[in-house]
Structure 1
Amino acid sequence: MIERFSFYLALIVAIVLLIMLAKKIRVAYPILLVIAGLLISFIPAVPVIHIDHELIFIIFLPPLLYEAAWVISWKELWRWRRIIGSFAFVVVFLTALSVAVVANAFIPGFSLALGFLLGGIVSPPDAVSAGAILKFVTVPKRMSSILEGESLLNDASSLIIFRFAAIAVTTGQFVWYNAALSFGWMVIGGVLIGLLIGYLFMKFHKRLPTDVYMDVILTLVTPYVMYIVAEEAHSSGVLAVVSGGLYLSHKQHSFLRSSSRLRGVNVWESLVFVLNGLVFMLIGLDLPEITEGLKAEGISFRDAIGYGLLVTGVLIAGRILAAYGAVITTLIARNFIKVADGNPGFKAPVLLGWTGMRGVVSLAAALSIPTVTDEAGTPFPHRNLILFITFIVILTTLLLQGLTLPYLIKKIKLPDYDDYLPEEQANELLKKELSRHALQYLNTHYAEHLNSHILLKQMAEKWESKLLDGAEIILSEESKAIYLDLLNQQRKWLLNKNDTNDDVDEDIIRRHLYQIDIEEEKLRFM
């Protein structure tokens, strides 16, 4: 490891430069990183990279999932819960089933159990790839929310399928009632463990004499504890991290001080940036090891590519059919229950169906396949072929769907669904109502202080005239306490507004909360 330190350091520098290039030429950076890793792997002087699946599952996956759960809008997740739940669980299972049937029919030596194993590996789309591509184009908020929500949950469902299929292959049997009990514990146990650990860490932040740096370090430790404890309890570590992350994100204003939230954002954005870059670069760098294993298995390169393209076709077709199936289901269900959108249209499913790029979780699952099935050392059947097919699926979906998605979005011209007020209108509305709420609270609770504290009176007058520009002023300790109370009231009002008003995008409300945190930080220097 030490002798390769300079190589990994050079990789990080290369990742930064490649992401800069990706932004320059307006290409999603995961595509560029995978291609670059692939090209670098052919350089003779480059050491062969062996990716341990535990490295991805333990080091990479928990923080990436936790950060995604932290930033997602709970309001959006709940609003589109039916479509998100169907894609994250039902569609993943049907995709795995389709891959199992096709693999059993067309790939020599593949049983249904082995096909289900492959299906569980390649069924979950990668959120990072879709998110990176969607930054270059404008899509309705609902589409990005559905994709983000699906990506939080589909990793868990696919890994559960993978785990049960691996047991069936290695033991040669599948007891459905044992599987049902295990499945229930993996889901329920994972969620409960995540919530419990999240609650405990929230109490640590509240009760322990932490400072900003300790708060940030605790947030870095939290997802690893959630994941490891859940996996040790034989439940879903992915669901533990997701549920715990969603819970702590929703409660963050009750246990994290403003300075911790502000600095934590910077730390987490930098960490996720590096982890995502390394993961996609390592995918490309791992090809030589995969091809060597394929040769050892005695399968021709041409046949293996054909199998990979066949599975990729099944995945793409299945997701598009599932997207239109969701529309038909919505049109039927609106006659019996209230749905988020009773008229979803037939353009959005094209986009939803085409955002099926695969990535890090698929590679990690494939690498975690054991090399032997029993103590006697019987080789796991077609392990190297499964690894190669997974690589072809990742590479093909990234290149085919990733490069054409921006063009597709522009071509189909998605309608404006009017789910929320326009951004400028929502911003103006929040500014006016925040000022009105602050003035009302100030006049109600601190009316007697307005005459004795001239600066407070001036601030109130500026709010009234909407001229508060953040100019440098010196406040007394009592004025600081009053101003801090006002900021806390504004924060509570915004959080309540988010919970009770469905017309305002939560992202806009979070921006105002961020500004309040900045105002609170400025008090330290007044």
Structure 2
Amino acid sequence: MVLETSIICIALVLAILALVMVSQKLKVAYPMVLVVGGLILSLIPGLPKVRVNPELIFIIFLPPLLFEAAWQTSWKDLWKWRRVISSFAFLIVLLTSFVIAIVSSSVIPGFTLALGFLLGGIVSPPDAVSATAILKYVKVPKRVKCIVEGESLLNDASSLIVFRFALVAVASGQFVFHQAALSFVLVIAMGIVVGVAIAFIYYAIHKWLPTDANIDIILTLTAPYVMYIVAERLHFSGVLAVVSGGLLLSSKSHQFLSTTSRLAISNVWSALGFIFNGVVFMLIGLELPEIIRQLGDVSLIGAIGYGVLISAVLIVLRILCTLGASVFTVFISRFITTADNRPGWKGPIILGWAGMRGVVSLASALSVPFYLSNGTAFPQRNLILFITFTVILITLVVQGLTLPLLINWVNMEDPDDLLPPHELNILIRKTLAKTSLAYLNEEYAEQLKSNKPLQQLRFMYENEQYFSMDDDGRSKDFQRIYGLLIEKQRECLDQINNMPRIDSELVRRYHGLLDLEEEKVRVRYSDEDN
């Protein structure tokens, strides 16, 4: 049994890799290819049936995926678009849940308002993993990508909270609005507090205890699970705990992680995030036969019709919400300062169409219990599962395939007043050179008269040449000075990043180049010592 399970897992990973390579060859976002590939595999006779345990997704997959996304997110961009992101992640999710509750309870026989809210909480959050993957292949304004990624970090929390309250309402038969509203705020606020508190504990462990790269990697692997489990045990938002904790640790990573640890952690989390995303999207497709089998008395044609209807409502409603948010922004800009007081219609249209649903929706649907507390079967569970799957499939495939076409048709120019990449590169290089020369001339004026490696270093900065120094003649003293100089350059990069017209993604790349340069020097002297 163990051997058979191992073979299935290895085959699944190899299938994921093959499908991802196909998607790269076709220049199609891999989430869509994986879902369709899982669908095709699930229809092959003789293959073992897949039944996804929702706890597997909520506990094993969701925390690291959220943590990895938070680690890669720019706090500067998140804060700049905080109002738009918050409205998308909370207000639009709540509005979507309400509309789906009204529509489903009016159209679907046997659906109560509480069941409608349950379905709304399940299908309301877009999954930005697929949207982000699609945006890699098209030119899109940076603000669109920032808003989509920022929304994905927060909307899972609000949808899961709606789902939790709706589940209680179905089981108890009553819903007290003011209690739910108070609990909603408490769950969100305390989830953030728990995440930040645990992040500071990990910060202290990394900074003041004798850790190495391997220990740092293991600690970062445990951090999202600790944040999520502790918050959920206290009945707060585990999602927001992971997101807030991940953002804090990411923003301070240069203060408590060595260069070796940062490079190793980046590689490990990149591979881990890739395979976890691949597995969950493949599982969505593989789950189809099991979902159809559980439909019971509901006809397949009728269930498909309900799924298509709910999908259409979700798509139209999101577009209306994004356009409405644009109109509201114009109005509210009269009273407060906004990042953009004239959003127009092109950006909202793209954001509205980039509303694909994914793994959180499936996991929520699968976690609906089979029975109520009194022992009776949970009403409409099978239909909720099928509608959720239909929504995921339609939004992923239809919107996913057409999003690049929509972006090209809209042809939105980048409205952000960011420096062009070539100008920003020049600015960064000149600023780093000026800072480095000032530091060398001030702190090591005497050594510069006779120290050949330092003279070479000064020559490099005078000619704005970076990351290409010859190793000949370096010494341990040079390594120490060069390490201090790189720290000064990191501080300079942070100051540059605070400037409004600077693209934080490019600044992050320069931080990575400094890490590589420092690691190269460390390895050079490590080899000499051995």
Q: Distance in 2 between matches of 1:466 and 1:38?
A: 54
Q: Which residue of 1 aligns with 2:155?
A: 154
Partner residue in 2 for 1:11: 12
- Counterpart AA for 1:291: I
Residue 343 of structure 1 and its aligned partner are, at CA, apart by: 1.5
Note the 1:90-489 alignment, pairs <5 A: 90-294=91-295, 296=296, 298-374=297-373, 376-468=374-466, 469-489=468-488
Letter in 1 for 2:189: I
Q: Distance in 2 between matches of 1:393 and 1:220?
A: 32
Deviation at 1:208, TM superposition (A): 1.5
After TM superposition, give the deviation of residue 369 of structure 1 in Å: 0.5
| In structure 2, C-alpha distance between the alignment counterparts of 1:41 and 1:150, rounded to whole Å | 32
Distance 2:102 2:280 in 1: 30
Alpha carbons 2:429, 2:464 under 8 Å: kept: no
Paired residue secondary structure (1:37): helix
Instruction: Return the alpha-carbon distance in structure 1 between the equivalents of residues 40 and 26 of structure 2.
Output: 19
Q: Which amino acid aligns with 2:356?
A: M
What amino acid is aligned across from residue 246 of structure 1 in structure 2? Answer: L
SS in 2 for 1:125: coil
Distance in 2 (alpha carbons) for counterparts of 1:211 and 1:93: 45
Q: Paired residue for 2:79? A: 78
Partner of residue 25, structure 1: 26
Give per-residue Cα distances to partners, 1:268-303, cap 9 Å, x unaligned.
Answer: 010011001110110011011111110x2x000000
2: CA distance, partners of 1:113 / 1:514? 50
Aligned-residue CA RMSD in angstroms? 1.0
Count residues with an aligned counterpart.
522
Letter matched to residue 167 of structure 2: A
Cα offset for 1:251?
0.7
Tell me the secondary structure at the aligned position of residue 417 of structure 1.
Answer: coil
Residue segments in structure 1 that go unaligned for 5+ positions in a row: none
Aligned to 1:497: 496
SS of corresponding position for 1:94: helix
| Aligned counterparts of 1:485 and 1:160: Cα–Cα separation in 2 | 47
- TM-score (norm: length of structure 2): 0.97
Cα distance in 2 for residues equivalent to 1:498 and 1:395: 40
Q: Contact 2:42–2:287 at 8 Å: present in 1 too?
A: yes
Between the aligned partners of 2:514 and 2:102, the Cα distance in structure 1 is 55
Query: Secondary structure of 2:446's partner?
Result: helix
Task: State the alpha-carbon separation in 1 of the partners of residues 469 and 10 from structure 2.
Answer: 42
* Separation (CA, whole Å) in 2 of partners of 1:265 and 1:146: 23
Deviation of 1:182 after TM superposition, in Å, equals 2.2
Q: Write the letter of the residue equivalent to 2:346.
A: K
How far, CA to CA, are the matches of 1:189 and 1:349 in structure 2? 32
Separation in 1 of the partners of 2:469 and 2:15? 40
Cα drift, residue 117 of structure 1 = 0.3
| Higher mean C-alpha displacement, 232-241 vs 207-216 | 207-216
CA offsets 1:107-128 (integer angstroms, 9 cap, x no match): 0011111000000000000011
% identical aligned pairs: 54
Q: Which runs of 5+ in 2 are unaligned?
A: 526-530
TM-aligned CA deviation for residue 479 of structure 1: 1.5
CA separation in 1, counterparts of 2:21 and 2:472?
Answer: 40
CA distance in 1, matches of 2:465, 2:148: 40
Q: 2-side partners of 1:511 and 1:480: how far apart?
A: 23
Spell out, residue by residue over 1:445-477, the C-alpha distance to the aligned partner (whole angstroms, 9 max, x if none). Answer: 111221232210121012112245233334211
**C-alpha distance in 1, partners of 2:362/2:340?**
35
Deviation string 1:166-204 (CA, Å, 9 cap, x unpaired) is 000011111233323322321111100000000000101
Counterpart pick for 1:509 among 492, 495, 507: 507
Which moved further from structure 2: 221-230 or 409-418? Answer: 409-418
> Which amino acid in 2 is paired with 1:352?
L
**CA drift at 1:494:** 0.8
Partner of 1:45: 46
